Each structure stands twice: as structure tokens, then as C-alpha cells.
Amino acid sequence: MNQQTQAAVIDGRLVAKKIRTEVKKRVRRLRDAGHQPGLAAVLVGDNPASQTYVASKVRTCERLGIYSEVIRQPSSIAQDDLVELVQQLNRNGKIHGILVQSPLPDHIDELAVTLAIDPAKDVDGFHPHNVGLLQIGRPHLVPCTPFGIIKLLEYYEVPTTGREVVVVGRSNIVGKPIASLLMQKGPLADATVTVAHSRTRDLAQVTRRADVLIAAIGRAGFITADMVSEETVVIDVGINRVEDPASERGYRLVGDVSYDEVAQKASMITPVPGGVGPMTIALLVSNTVKAAEAILASKE
């Protein structure tokens, strides 16, 4: 029996760098015309992971010449006050992109906050207006992580037309939008998509059918080698902290895929970290510039 070679690594850092290079050119064109794209991040409470994510987004904006500001609010903020803050940002001409970092405190209805965001500034792509445009094949601002997955498939020339794609996870943030993107007509789409989840019967039988397997279920090491067929392309969206006494931080980051064993069967695989994660921030700044371009064009 031939020994399976190690899967080729899909390098998200490399592709994200190329996207940022293009974004920087677009920012330069806007600034030469007297405009600067602007992103506002609203951070509620003191969740350490949220603070890290927002700080990374702000640093990326600064490097690319995008104006950014972080608006910090206590976890005790009333929902009406948070909605009013978002509405103020809607009216702020310096701001073209608004994101409200999740998770929010339990007393706040995240949907109510999302609905308050002007769809033209909804760079997360979560407003029902943008979700609807995606569903009918007319996407404008697409959720960043799913869009990042599409860009990875594009760069590494992974075919999807007529192929079977299995998405494990049905969240509004990743599972549903990536399924919608891949079932559209056109290049990097035209796939036969199955959305599976924790209650799918005989999940391993479903995942073994996949030409492309996208794991977005939020459980460390959930996808094991027996759930993957040889030559499958595996996209691992998960970012999970597991205890690691040998690490200076006391933990390490792992994906939803048991990387070492799956990499022995898959043809290509994304690592964690360094796979999908960098793409999310790259597409966030890309969406911010796209929003700025559209808003400014509508005023001409």
C-alpha cells in the first residue's frame, strides 16, 4: 500500500498579505482623491479575546492608512444606549464601516444591535439586508470569514464546480453564508453543498463524501481522520484554546480538525493558527474600503 504523503498547507498568512497589498492600493487612490476610509469598532465589556481581536483589526487599519477608532463601553451599557451609539456612527461621515464586537452581554439582543447598523456600513455582513443580497446572488458586503475561505480556494485553485462540499456547522457567521456562497452560480461556486452539524446522523459518513470539507463547529479536534477521505481539501475555521502547561501563555490554539492525523489523509489543509484566521481581518479591511468606495460613489 502506498504511503499517503503529508497534505499541502494552505497558507492564510500569504494570501491575506496579498489582499492587504491590494487594499492598500485602493486606500491610496481614495486618499489621493481627498477621502480616507474609516472603521469604527465598538467593544462592550472586557472580554480578553475580544480586546485582542479588536486591537489586531486596529493595527491592520493603521498599517493600511485606514482611519480607525475603538469605542469602549462598559458591560452594563443599556441596549437602547448601545443602539443609539450605533446610530450616531451611522451619521458620522468619517466612518464607512461599523462593527460591534461579539459576544455582547446577555442582557443585550445582538440582532437588535445588528439591525441598527446602516447596511451600507455593515462590514461584518450580518445585517439582514446584506444577508438577503447574498442569498439572491447579488452580494455586496459578505461576511468576512466565509469570503476569506472563498479567497483561499481561489488562490490555491481548488475546484468547486460540480464538487461535493460539506460544511460542518450552521452558524449565521460561517456555516450558512459559506454554504450560500458555494451554491451560487459562477466560478468558485456551483458546488453541491451539504450543511451538517452536531445532530447529523452518521456524521462521519456525510463528511467522508466531501471533496472539500469545511469545519466550523467550534469544538477542538472534532474532525478526525476517520471522518475524512483521501485527497479531500480541508478548511479548518475553528479557533479553540486548549490548556498547554508547556506554553508560556498556559494554552495553545487549535482548530476543529485534528490536524496531525487528518493531514496524513487530506490533499490540502489549513493550519490553526495561520489559515483562515488571517483572512478574516484581511477581508474586514477590504470590506471597509469597499463600503467607503460605494458610499462615496453614491454621493457623486
Given a cut of 50, is residue 1 above it in pLDDT? no
What is the pLDDT averaged over residues 114-125? 98
> Does domain 143-277 sit in CATH 3.40.50.720?
yes
User: Is there a catalytic annotation at residue 88?
Assistant: no
> How is residue 212 written as a grid cell?
472539500
Q: What is the CA radius of gyration of the chain?
A: 20
User: Is there a catalytic annotation at residue 101?
Assistant: yes
3 — pLDDT class (breaks 50, 70, 90): low
- Which CATH class name applies to 35-118? alpha beta
Predicted TM-score of the model (pTM)? 0.94
User: Is there a catalytic annotation at residue 124?
Assistant: yes
What is the pLDDT averaged over residues 9-21? 98
State the burial class of residue 13 (Cβ atoms within 10 Å of its Cβ: 0-12, 13-18, 19+): middle
> For 32-78, how does the pLDDT look when each residue is reduced to its tens digit (9 = 90+)?
999 999 999 999 999 888 888 899 999 999 999 999 999 999 999 99
What is the pLDDT averaged over residues 193-209? 97
CA angle 183, 124, 118 (to 5 degrees): 110
Identical fold, 35-118 and 143-277? yes
Q: What are the residue ranges spanned by the domains of the chain?
A: 35-118, 143-277
- pLDDT > 90: what percent of the chain? 89
> For 159-178, how does the pLDDT look when each residue is reduced to its tens digit (9 = 90+)?
999 999 999 999 999 999 99
d(CA 108, CA 78) in angstroms, rounded, equals: 7
Does residue 39 contact residue 71 with C-beta atoms inside 8 Å?
no
In sequence order, the 6+-apart residues with CB closer than 8 A to the CB of 46 are: 75
List the catalytic residue out of 118, 121, 122, 124. 124
DSSP class of residue 120?
G
State the burial class of residue 144 (Cβ atoms within 10 Å of its Cβ: 0-12, 13-18, 19+): buried
d(CA 186, CA 145) in angstroms, rounded, equals: 20
Q: What sign for the dihedral angle of Cα 131, 37, 21, 215?
A: negative
Given a cut of 60, is residue 208 above it in pLDDT? yes
| Per-residue model confidence (pLDDT) at position 4 | 56
Given a cut of 60, is residue 97 above it in pLDDT? yes
158 — pLDDT class (breaks 50, 70, 90): very high
